[in-house]
């Protein structure tokens, strides 16, 4: 073998070995750090039994009327994410924040992430804390799961409040993002921690305190691209297809707050207005913010929610701003 080629092969082998050692190190370090950080988090909420697993449910406020809050897909810590909404509503309402399996401090589930399983599990958690009648409120994918929930438990859900919630008709939900295919490897090798080590987009947001930010940071390392999330994303096509044509119960009052000028869906507002028109009474509000309305426009979200719940009319009709 010629010397230059031999040197090249040796160098290449050295690089491969170094890469292997580096990835092994990041993988081990990520597991150790994540377990340590989660263990150091101060527990919040209560762990309830659902399907032989533990689901975290946190309760705030002591109002006579209960609101069940459920998160958007992939929210690392629903309790921390909803902090501005919780703080704005807890003086008047009893807030029951559910962290579904794979979210927050809850376990990973063994069952597939179908709409039916997710709805049944959330209901079991809600029932375990004694809630019998309540407003169902949530962000993003709650629009899909909330439809099934409200139709499955119509005697319990008294109203629905959506924060830029999904609608069955939104296009493209049968397409799985490419990142999902490599996500388990990125997570396992600890590269996700490196990729997300930049500045926190919520840092400096007065609606969130240091405890909220720490919970989201730590639990993102634990839950992002974990098995339940991957399965939930892979199930979206199936779940959206099954929801096609579904509407909320006609007599259920609904409040839909949605973002203005959604670049991904030009007909976003029209889809929500059409959904509102299927029930006897609905209120809609277009908010100038991105998908996470409650991050930057929590004052509006809280104010619209309070106004809606305190002024539910008897006559049918759709009110639009």
Residue-wise pLDDT for 42-82, tens only, equals 899 999 999 999 999 999 999 999 999 999 999 999 999 99
Assigned domain for 212 exists: yes
Assigned domain for 129 exists: yes
Predicted confidence (pLDDT) at residue 195 exceeds the cutoff of 70: no
Assigned domain for 114 exists: yes
| CATH code for position 172 | 3.40.50.1820
Q: At what angle do helices 210-223 and 3-40 cross, to 10 degrees?
A: 130
Q: Which of 228, 230, 218 is nearest to 80 (CA)?
A: 218
Q: In this prediction, what percent of the chain has a pLDDT beyond 90?
A: 67
Contact 268, 52 (CB under 8 A): no
Assigned domain for 63 exists: yes
Query: For the whole model, what pTM was predicted?
Result: 0.85
Assigned domain for 1 exists: no
Q: How many domains does the chain have?
A: 1
Assigned domain for 26 exists: no
State the residue range of the domain holding 53.
41-320
Assigned domain for 22 exists: no
Predicted confidence (pLDDT) at residue 316 exceeds the cutoff of 80: no
SS3 68: strand
pLDDT at 12 (0 to 100): 46
User: What are the distances in angstroms from CA 272 to CA 88, 170, 277, 288?
Assistant: 25, 10, 9, 15
Letter string b/e over residues 280-312, b meaning 16 or more CB atoms within 10 A of that residue's CB: bbbbbbbbebebbbbbbbbebbbebbeebbeee
Assigned domain for 5 exists: no
């Amino acid at each position: 073998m010629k010397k230059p080629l031999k040197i090249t092969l040796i160098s290449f082998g050295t690089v491969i070995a170094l890469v292997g050692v580096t990835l092994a190190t990041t993988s081990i370090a990520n597991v150790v750090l994540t377990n340590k950080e989660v263990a150091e988090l101060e527990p919040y909420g209560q762990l309830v039994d659902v399907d032989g697993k533990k689901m975290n449910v946190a309760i705030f406020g002591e109002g006579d009327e209960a609101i069940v809050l459920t998160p958007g897909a992939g929210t690392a810590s629903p309790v921390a994410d909803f902090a501005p909404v919780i703080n704005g509503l807890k003086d008047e309402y009893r807030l029951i924040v559910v962290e579904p399996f794979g979210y927050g401090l809850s376990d990973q589930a063994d069952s597939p992430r179908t709409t039916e399983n997710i709805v049944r599990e959330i209901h079991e958690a809600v029932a375990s804390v004694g809630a019998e009648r309540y407003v169902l409120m949530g962000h993003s994918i709650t629009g899909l799961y909330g439809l099934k929930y409200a139709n499955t438990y119509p005697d319990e859900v008294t109203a629905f409040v959506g924060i830029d919630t999904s609608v069955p008709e939104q296009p493209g939900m049968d397409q799985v993002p490419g990142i999902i295919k490599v996500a388990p490897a990125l997570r396992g090798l600890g590269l996700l921690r490196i990729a997300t080590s930049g500045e926190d987009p919520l840092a400096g947001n007065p609606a969130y305190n240091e405890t909220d930010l720490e919970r989201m940071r730590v639990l993102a390392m634990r839950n992002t691209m974990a098995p339940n999330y991957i399965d939930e994303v892979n199930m979206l096509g199936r779940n959206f297809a099954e929801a096609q044509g579904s509407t909320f119960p006609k007599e259920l009052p609904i409040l839909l707050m949605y973002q203005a000028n959604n670049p991904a869906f030009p007909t976003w507002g029209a889809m929500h207005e059409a959904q509102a028109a299927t029930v006897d009474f609905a209120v809609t509000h277009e908010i100038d913010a991105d998908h996470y309305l409650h991050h930057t426009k929590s004052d509006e979200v809280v104010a619209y929610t309070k106004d809606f719940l305190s002024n539910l009319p008897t006559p049918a009709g759709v009110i639009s701003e």
